A and B are shown apart, each in its own frame.
Chain A
Amino acid sequence: MSPVNAVLRRELRSYFVTPVAYVFLVIFLVLAGILTFYAGDFYERGQADLQPFFTMHPWLYLILVPAITMRMWAEEAKGGTLELLLTLPLTLWQAMLGKFLAAWLFIGLALVLTFPIWITVNYLGSPDNGVILAGYLGSWLMAGSFVAIGACLSALTRSQVVAFILTALVCVLLILVGQPQVQDFFSGTLPRKLINAVAHLSMLRHFEAIARGVLDTRDLVYFLLSMAGWLIAGVLLLDLKRTR
């Protein structure tokens, strides 16, 4: 078995041995349900789709993804197991990839477990299941980007709290950057072109495009590139720490 696989399995197992996995799953599912049905006006809208459900995902991830990723490297650095891991025959890349995939797959599992909501909407009406599938895909891609950010920032520090806060901060910036309110706020001070360019970095914009059922390559590339970028940054950070 490859080292990536071994790291992935170890990480996943550690989620489920410690209460992390269960706390995450319960909170994610409960919040997803509550926010969809109460805050999202699921019934009042009178439409058979999962728009209110997916709208809540960025905000759920904002709190829950950093909670998953904060320990990824910080804990290993603090507990000394980083030395053990990095003196085993694997590259930094394989270690990073294994850890990233574990967290990403885990969030995928959480998404799969929201299936009762999908059943509900199919029971109540006849939604476009293609759009719903696209919504799930977009949500998972966005989660992957958040996880990559968290993986990178966890490599930065030995403190899990610092990793959590930094990750949440970066994620909230990436969510908000394309919002009209934010754009309006800066429209007086910054050139229009810059604002537009920065707005394209917005997670929300790309996520909402996919969640509407429009699978544009540009949106897919955006998420894949942002994952790759943050993971590369994380590997470089880890490598830098070995020389400092």
Chain B
Amino acid sequence: MIETDQLTRRYGNLTAVDALSIRVEPGQVLGLLGPNGAGKSTAMRMIAGFLVPTSGTARVCGHDVGREPLQAKRALGYLPEGAPSYGEMTVREFLQFIVRMRGLGAEAAYRRYDAVVQQLQLEEVLELCIDTLSKGLRRRVGLAQAILHDPPVLMLDEPTDGLDPNQKHAVRQLIDVMARDRTILISTHLLEEVHALCNRVVIIARGRLLADATPAELEARSRYHGAVSFSAPGSGMSQEMLGRLPQVAAIEVDPLDGRITVFPKPGARILEPVETLLREQGLEVSEIQLERGRLDEVFRQITTGGDAAEGHA
């Protein structure tokens, strides 16, 4: 479990993290989402015990990071931003250094080491210097380092940054597998990642918590939520008909590809009436889609913050 209470960090006049209180339970994968410079990394550094908070506290598995740093650090697997590691060491040397630092017993260490190396597909690069590895491989070495002691709490700062789609998929699967009984906090600015990984999202900007919700709840805030879109040639007439449906609030036509998006009135379901209408009109519809809502739109709306108050869930 990760708990922060009014966690605050100031650099001179700049408040990087502003009274951030979050609580992540076992089994949760919390995505810390925010634009660059929002304070994601600073918050994580304080939870990991690297930076001392200006005020407020952070706890990992009940251990106050300030008062019981060693217990907190033992419970935590942490991938810092950019996955730093000692470049002059080989992958094997580096991971064995971590094993020693973590004080793992010989027997357990070997079993765990082998398992992690296999999980992250590092077998072939074990004897290579970390300096010579690609960005993606280095990220995987960083991940291996973080999960080597099988921690109950995992905190990953942009874990898939710099990975190709296949590697991203592999890392997400790994996190998915680990998520079952662990507390996981990841930071990201990739919205697709939130869909793929997280069952909860916290959005922060300028150090402040602006939203705390499930991905579905966030999508529901999008004006696209529940909208129906379709492409149909020669649908000029049907637009007018659609506009007369009692559930429909607005209609937009994409000027590029002519795709029509029909927005519902709040709470209304419009897929069925729209389909029925189209069928009655005998319109040839190549494909029709019910939109879940667009996270990027919600993200933009929340973080560029016209009204932050509305963002609070």
Contacts and interface: CB of A to CB of B under 8 A. Distances in A.
B110 interface: no
Q: Which of A80, A86, A87 is most buried by chain B, counting CB atoms within 10 A of its CB?
A: A87
A88 interface: yes
A89 B48 CA distance: 10
Nearest to A98: B101
Interface in B74-128: 74, 76, 78, 80-82, 84-89, 93, 97-98, 100-103
B45 interface: yes
Contacts of A10: 86, 89, 97
B145 A17 contact: no
A243 B52 contact: yes
Interface of A: 1-3, 5-7, 9-10, 13-14, 17-18, 79-84, 86-91, 242-243
Contacts, number: 71
Contacts of A82: 50
Contacts of A242: 50-52
B70 interface: yes
Given A14-B86, A14-B89, A88 B73 contact: yes
A83 B49 contact: no
Contacts of B80: 80, 83-84, 87
Interface in B104-159: 145
A150 B268 CA distance: 71
B80 to A, nearest CB: 4
Is chain A's binding surface mostly helix, strand, loop or mixed?
helix
B101 A6 contact: yes
B135 to A, nearest CB: 14
Interface of B: 45, 48-52, 69-70, 73-74, 76, 78, 80-82, 84-89, 93, 97-98, 100-103, 145
Contacts of A84: 80, 84-85, 145
A89 to B, nearest CB: 4
Given A83-B50, A242-B50, A3 B101 contact: yes
Given A17-B89, A83-B50, 4 more contacts: A13-B89, A79-B84, A83-B84, A86-B49
A6 B93 CA distance: 11
A77 to B, nearest CB: 11
Given A5-B100, A13-B89, A18-B88, A87 B76 contact: yes
B82 A80 contact: yes
A88 B97 CA distance: 11
A87 B49 contact: yes
14 contacts: A6-B100, A6-B101, A7-B101, A9-B100, A10-B86, A10-B89, A82-B50, A84-B80, A86-B50, A87-B76, A88-B73, A89-B70, A89-B101, A242-B52
A90 B101 contact: yes
A130 to B, nearest CB: 39
Contacts of B52: 242-243
Nearest to B98: A88
